[in-house]
Amino acid sequence: MTGGATAAPASQSHIPVLFSQVMEALQVKGDGTFFDGTFGRGGHARGVLDKLGAGGRLLVMDKDPEAIAEATRLADGDARVSIHQGSFAELAQWDATADGLDGVLLDLGVSSPQLDIAERGFSFGKDGPLDMRMDTSSGESAAQWLARADEREIADVLWTFGEERMSRRIARAIVERRATAPLTRTAELAELVARVVPRGKDTSHPATRTFQAIRIHINNELADVEAGLAAAHDRLKPGGRLAVISFHSLEDRIVKQFIARHAKAPPANRRLPQLETFTPTLRALGSAIRADSNELGANPRSRSAVLRVAEKLEARA
């Protein structure tokens, strides 16, 4: 697939990643029902809403109370928009999706506004409380988890969700540090990691993988992706589109494998009897889509974005 000519909404203070490509992928029709499971600050949702007619519907979910507040301002009496706070993993439990969806958009990971607000605790580049929760009204913060988790658990999280090769060394340093003073600020954690991890030739900050791993763990992100993809698959109508933007290999691998699992028959094993015929339920539309040079110049954060698109197939009798 190729990017269309649709421009990102000029009213947005931040730039929606892969905006024109997402609009083309979703193939928004005026009377359709479309689901945005990661509203953020509404860049993609506004694009969908602009294409909907009076009979169309936009269903919005997000964990983040601030995103829900922004979505409420967007709706502002617009009967086409329905809003629900929660994880997209639970989209099939929302009654509004019961009649089926013509399109599902999941823009995974942390949003630009969340990164830009130091108080949210997502960024090692801005000192703030060590929180990292997407839903700040519930659950355990990063500081609380780091204060109670043992060394092995911390190391496992850093390795599994950050692919951090120095996971054991960082975990040991965290446990030693908290014996004298708790880690409560993002700058404290970033400085600790920088002291124990050699920078080498990598131009990224030494704490990049550590922050990613802890954030994914605190928000249960990868399990949510798996559950959300399954729920989206169930709720999509035949011909409906699934569009998912990932920002790191762990997410993208889950999305790629999910689409392949529903689009291609698994390799046959000649030693085992074939019990049933494989029936595809999705069709992959093209390969991974990335930002072009124009978008990369305007929005450097788009450099790691990968969009994958699939279409729900008609059920066979």
Q: Mark the binding-site residues for S-adenosyl-L-methionine, compressed into ranges.
A: 42-44, 62, 88, 107, 114
Pick from 97, 85, 78: nearest CA to 61? 85
- Residue 123 and residue 118: Cα distance in Å, rounded? 7
- Residue 245 and residue 8: Cα distance in Å, rounded? 16
Asked if 167 and 158 count as a contact pair (C-beta separation under 8 A), the reply is yes
Pick from 25, 65, 75, 74: nearest CA to 285? 25
- Residue 255 and residue 67: Cα distance in Å, rounded? 24
- Residue 250 and residue 191: Cα distance in Å, rounded? 25
Give the annotated binding-site residues: 42-44, 62, 88, 107, 114
Tokens of 240: 């409906």
Residue type, 236: L
Tokens of 101: 């969806």
Strand order in the sheet with 236-246: 81-85, 57-62, 33-36, 101-107, 236-246, 306-312, 282-284
Q: Which residues have CB under 8 Å from 223's CB, separation 6+?
A: 89
Return the number of other C-beta atoms located less than 10 Å from residue 312's C-beta: 25
- Residue 317 and residue 314: Cα distance in Å, rounded? 9
Residue type, 178: R
Pick from 133, 134, 139, 172: nearest CA to 153? 172
